[in-house]
Structure 1
Amino acid sequence: MPIVQLDEHLIDQIAAGEVVERPASVVKELVENAIDAGATRIEIATAGGGKTLLRVTDDGCGIPEGELLLAVRRHCTSKLSGGLEEIATLGFRGEALPSIGSVARLSLRSRAAGAGEAFEIAVDHGHCDGPRPTALSRGTVVEVRDLFHSVPARLKFLKSERAESSAITDVVRRLALAEPEVRFEISGPDRTATVFEAARDMAERIAQVVGGDFTGNAVAIDAAREDIRLSGLAGLPTYSRGNSLQQFLFVNGRPVRDKMLVSALRGGYADVMAKDRHPVAVLFITLDPALVDVNVHPAKADVRFRDPGLVRGLIVGALRQAFAEAGLRSSSEGTAGILARMRAKAGEVTPAPRRFEGFAPGGFAAPRQTPFDAGASPYRPLAPRSETATLERGTAASDAGFRPNGLDEDAVTYEAGAASPVIATSGETQPAEDFPLGAARAQLHGNYIVAETDKGLVIVDQHAAHERLVYEALKEALHGKALASQMLLIPEIVDLSADDAERLAENAADLAALGLHLERFGPAAIAVRETPAILGQTDIQKLVRDLADELAEFGTKDSVKSRIDHVAATIACHGSVRSGRVLKLDEMNALLREMERTPSASQCNHGRPTFIELGLADIEKLFGRR
């Protein structure tokens, strides 16, 4: 078949395949144009999930009559006066309107600022008509009808109307977060509207879009490294979701879905969140436009940083520092769940039948004998112990290297016996207002410590809490110095590509600090001579290949460290206070005090909360006192 020159309409349709993937892509491009035009009010109307109708109305600067035809021609734009090195707008490629017009019926009405009248042009699957006068007070109205009508192969791959409408809403939510001073309104065929009013500040806009519940369960992020700044809110590790839809990442005000940034976000939550859960976060990265390339893909959702390691380190470090400085904070979701369950179960309780026992002297019913009267109280007061008692932890590491049996269960003292409730007597209590987690008052079911604070109650899972304490101590001992390694009798040779072998060799010094000693073995292989002692018998081939893949994709080398941390977490789990063990009062308080001193003590190694706080106001509501 001979080589031929494609016609312009077919070229536009091919380009549209990259820019216009679905109705939400159209909305994204049109709303970005409105924001670049300086709009303060943007309205989005849809029908048929955006497949039948999409209309975007703004009050921006508008387009002069003489530029309307250029606006719908490929590679025509007003936003690249500074070149690709100084991109300060959301759009810049000049492809959106012609791509949309090649696969749909497009009409564009606009009145430029200061112009006496408005003008309109129409594009029907690549054929342009106009401009001609029209009625419009200000701004621009772009209307898209019958999307992909001329490309049925693309149309049949679209999802249901509900799914496409949801995708449109998600796009607008992300753009609304980036532009808090702009009012956004989304309306559908059912005449219901979602409105994000112009906000006074970013905190108010985040509450509008993500929800006030998130702002109450998040820590503020504000960090800088060299010329890069990171700001926003990051949800508590215990405030998580089953998918990543509640992660909002922005680079210089541009919403992005970059895999390196997502990886950095996961790295910041490592050790404090379950593997199958996803954090909720709204993070803004601000840097010199010359340090980031946004011209990676026509959809402009991916970016490339000049120094990705610096950006990743900033995100991971800022998140971990923020969680450490936040101290002990429990998610309000746990409290809300308790209150909901209590209210739901309240009507299901069947009262015990009442019997008439006759009258006692004075007209009051004679009390029936209880187990207390018979000397068979189910509660045992705790014997007083030394005020300086502490909950000891075993040694996790020694100068000779890590000892897996270094944590001995005997390091924690218990009171043997059944898991019956233990209630503190008044003579043994500590003042509740002296400590963030209050003073221990009881142990229930051999696992839950009930503490009283000046604001309410705290219920602590003793096994989960002590597991985190032991784990943090192990990590501090392990990563505080170069890890012990074990030499292989015969070096393990791992065959790789030349590029992977080069990357590993460049990072050999850093990997040696983690106990993994390797070196080049020819142009496309690596020789492993020592492995971290804590890993024991490990699959060296898989470990090295995973490292090579991670270095190639993210430029990081966390695989070794994550495996070491996993071993430490396993040891901490088996070496912690077991469920069903009865602790004495001073041991409970020692555990609470150690939690207050330990970073990330609000959740265990598996991401579950270690304690739940129940405010006094919530308790009073349950009893109808408020």
Structure 2
Amino acid sequence: MSKIKQLSEQMTNRIAAGEVVERPAGIVKELVENAIDAKSSTISVEYILGGLEKIIVSDNGQGMDETDLRKAFLRHSTSKIEKEADLHAINSLGFRGEALPSIASVSNVVAKSSYNQKSFELHINNGNELSFEPISFGKGTTLEVSQLFYRLPARLKYLKTPQYEASRINSLMNSFALGYPEIAFSVKNENRTILETKGNGKLDEIIFELYGAQAASMTKEFSGESSNFKISGVYVLPHIQRANKYHEYFYLNSRMINYFSMNQVVHDVFHRYMPRDRFPILVLNINSDVQLVDVNVHPSKWQVKISFEKELLELVSKTLNNSLMSEMAPKVMSHQPTQQIIQPTIKPTPTPQPTTKIEPLNLFEQPESEYESSQDKMKVIAQHHGKYILAENEEGLFLFDQHASMERVMYEMFIKKMSEKKFDQQQLLTPLVLKKVPYVENLQDKLLDFGIEVDLLSESELIVRSLPTYLDKVDPYNFINSIFDVLKEDSKASFVSLNDHKIATMACKASIRFNERHTILSLQRIVDDLLVCENPYHCPHGRPTFVRLDPKSLLKEFSR
């Protein structure tokens, strides 16, 4: 008696559905890709209960005739390829012929389609054809999928809440909208409109729809080309950031893909202008010869293999880096001449005195006798409202954000000290006593990792007798309290193990604040140290450190 049996077509479809139809968003992806392959200019998606109860995808594409509508639900039936050589030159999004039969094997499907003024409706329930009949129907195709996994409670059990499944569908449709701005998409959740695009090809309007006016106003285009690849796309300036990488969209020959190596390249470029635990908004389109790409890697078609991958990664890195260096350069503040001149009332005011006496900063441990100010190049002339540093050189008048500027200096100095992994100590003439110290196990050893030597006076008090020289002229109270915050979050943290976000936070707390007045020499030191930084244009959080007032604009402003 033979033990090996050939499975029925219905059973093989259900097995294939395990990879093709993982969740409602997977069904939406397959149906929308079919609509795009059908040359649709309008695609609508409606769903109920996160797609668990019902999904409806409609398009105005080419449609299917009576024969093709039935064939579409037979396994490995496709109009995209015919022979083996076609697998090496795939131009369409779908090609495997598995999606529709897999979906129909685990749900209730009603498909309507029109071709040459003839329309038909096909009804399939969990792999069994129930009806097929002519109907009156408009242009295109509509597929209605309901009762997903109704007869597979084990699969239904592992799906998440309707809210989560809805978020997956919405995120997927955002990707489609950004990748195909020439198609008008409509997404509804139980008659509530989630997304609606015009299909006019304007990507900035879609970014406005998804991310708001501020992000749309900060959108920048980029493009590049190598011997095998062409790239283009847009990104939002690093001032606007996200908490995860799911706002980086990659398209290879118009196909949405997951590309982890490309994620890393993008992060390496953008993290020069933002903390390493923050991520950009970016849309990247990659075009290449289809024979350089293998899309037949996984039934979900999210993964691909690319020939000459190193060339592509280097092209993206170089293009983005050049674009960001240009866009993140300090901006020139230019004003139009005022229409009406109002005579100001000028009242004599006493010269404000510094509220806090601060000695000239010596952030990079440069001996005072050897210090030469770069005043010939950038001369500090005043402090404005205890917030901004006014300076000038031959190029014009500069306005520095005093906190952001010192924050950048402190950040790069901390990074430098981390690489050196050594701390020179400076004894304090008057020891510091800190009270209400939070409990941290082995606190003395932990602080020593940061180069700070302390003695415990009690469980909640400690005395600091020396400080590392990298904290010269920094408020030790604020800085040590920032270390306490780090240790409470991660008890194993040490100076050399901190991530960029924590270093940026410590640099922020170690820097001078708004509404703090300082001597001109002290402010000059901040500006000089900033201008020798690797990235003097932005603080670690991506905010600009200074702007320049164009001399020509000033002349126009005063009607000269």
Say whether the 8 Å CA contact 1:391–1:412 is kept in structure 2.
no
Say whether the 8 Å CA contact 1:101–1:125 is kept in structure 2.
yes
Question: Which residue number in structure 2 is paired with residue 442 of structure 1?
Answer: 383
Distance 1:264 1:55 in 2: 38
Q: CA deviation at 1:316?
A: 2.2
- Counterpart of 2:156, as a letter, is L
SS in 2 for 1:4: coil
Q: CA deviation at 1:96?
A: 0.9
Question: Which residue number in structure 1 is paired with residue 401 of structure 2?
Answer: 459
**Percent identical residues:** 27
Question: 2:243 matched to 1:242?
Answer: yes
Distance 1:565 1:317 in 2: 28
Question: Which residue number in structure 2 is paired with residue 98 of structure 1?
Answer: 101
Say whether the 8 Å CA contact 2:65–2:118 is kept in structure 1.
no
Distance 1:223 1:594 in 2: 35
- Scaled by the length of structure 1, the TM-score of the pair is 0.61
SS in 2 for 1:184: strand
Question: 2:258 matched to 1:257?
Answer: yes
Runs of at least 5 residues in structure 1 that lack an aligned partner in the other structure:
331-370, 383-389, 395-406, 416-428, 479-562, 616-626
Distance 2:199 2:548 in 1: 35
- Scaled by the length of structure 2, the TM-score of the pair is 0.68
Distance 1:54 1:329 in 2: 49
Question: Which residue number in structure 2 is paired with residue 30 of structure 1?
Answer: 31
Q: CA deviation at 1:585?
A: 3.6
- Counterpart of 1:253, as a letter, is S
Indicate the larger mover: 162-171 or 1-10. 1-10
Distance 1:600 1:235 in 2: 19
Distance 2:415 2:217 in 1: 26
Question: Which residue number in structure 2 is paired with residue 322 of structure 1?
Answer: 323
Summarize the alignment of residues 393-412 of structure 1 with structure 2, pairs less than 5 Å apart. Answer: 408=366, 410=368
Q: CA deviation at 1:20?
A: 0.8
2:538 aligned residue (593, 603, 608): 603
What do you get for the CA RMSD once the two structures are aligned?
4.4
Question: Which residue number in structure 2 is paired with residue 266 of structure 1?
Answer: 267
Flag the 1:193–1:579 CA change in 2: closer, same or farther, 3 A.
closer
SS in 1 for 2:33: helix
Distance 2:256 2:214 in 1: 22
Question: Which residue number in structure 1 is paired with residue 205 of structure 2?
Answer: 204
Q: CA deviation at 1:612?
A: 7.7
Say whether the 8 Å CA contact 1:328–1:601 is kept in structure 2.
no
Distance 2:299 2:179 in 1: 20
- Counterpart of 1:262, as a letter, is N
Summarize the alignment of residues 183-582 of structure 1 with structure 2, pairs less than 5 Å apart. Answer: 183-328=184-329, 378-379=353-354, 408=366, 410=368, 441-442=382-383, 449-451=388-390, 459-461=401-403, 462-467=405-410, 579=512
Distance 1:297 1:329 in 2: 46
- Counterpart of 1:76, as a letter, is S
Flag the 1:202–1:16 CA change in 2: closer, same or farther, 3 A.
same
Q: CA deviation at 1:379?
A: 4.1
Flag the 1:464–1:379 CA change in 2: closer, same or farther, 3 A.
closer
Summarize the alignment of residues 125-136 of structure 1 with structure 2, pairs less than 5 Å apart. Answer: 125-136=126-137
Deviation track 1:41-93 (CA, whole Å, cap 9, x = no partner) reads 11111111111110111100001111111100111111125612211111111
- Counterpart of 2:401, as a letter, is I
Q: CA deviation at 1:128?
A: 2.0
Runs of at least 5 residues in structure 2 that lack an aligned partner in the other structure:
332-348, 420-495, 550-560
- Counterpart of 1:459, as a letter, is D
Q: CA deviation at 1:230?
A: 2.1
Flag the 1:182–1:595 CA change in 2: closer, same or farther, 3 A.
farther
- Counterpart of 1:378, as a letter, is Q
Flag the 1:277–1:327 CA change in 2: closer, same or farther, 3 A.
closer
Distance 1:323 1:291 in 2: 29
Distance 1:583 1:444 in 2: 11
Deviation track 1:340-377 (CA, whole Å, cap 9, x = no partner) reads xxxxxxxxxxxxxxxxxxxxxxxxxxxxxxx96xxx96
Distance 1:226 1:586 in 2: 53
Flag the 1:136–1:566 CA change in 2: closer, same or farther, 3 A.
closer
Distance 1:458 1:297 in 2: 53
Say whether the 8 Å CA contact 2:363–2:410 is kept in structure 1.
no
Flag the 1:224–1:564 CA change in 2: closer, same or farther, 3 A.
farther
- Counterpart of 2:545, as a letter, is F
Distance 1:411 1:466 in 2: 21
Q: CA deviation at 1:124?
A: 0.7
Indicate the larger mover: 198-207 or 261-270. 198-207
- Counterpart of 1:108, as a letter, is A
Deviation track 1:181-217 (CA, whole Å, cap 9, x = no partner) reads 1111111224445311112433333333343322333
Distance 1:29 1:179 in 2: 15
Q: CA deviation at 1:94?
A: 1.0
- Counterpart of 1:449, as a letter, is Y
Deviation track 1:251-297 (CA, whole Å, cap 9, x = no partner) reads 11111122222222222224433232222211111211111222111
Say whether the 8 Å CA contact 1:465–1:610 is kept in structure 2.
no
Say whether the 8 Å CA contact 1:442–1:449 is kept in structure 2.
yes
SS in 2 for 1:325: helix
Question: Which residue number in structure 1 is paired with residue 61 of structure 2?
Answer: 60
- Counterpart of 1:102, as a letter, is S
Flag the 1:289–1:209 CA change in 2: closer, same or farther, 3 A.
farther
SS in 2 for 1:15: helix
Distance 2:87 2:199 in 1: 31
SS in 1 for 2:168: helix
- Counterpart of 1:87, as a letter, is I
Say whether the 8 Å CA contact 1:230–1:315 is kept in structure 2.
yes
Question: Which residue number in structure 1 is paired with residue 147 of structure 2?
Answer: 146
Distance 1:592 1:255 in 2: 46
Distance 2:370 2:241 in 1: 32
SS in 1 for 2:402: strand
Question: Which residue number in structure 1 is paired with residue 114 of structure 2?
Answer: 111
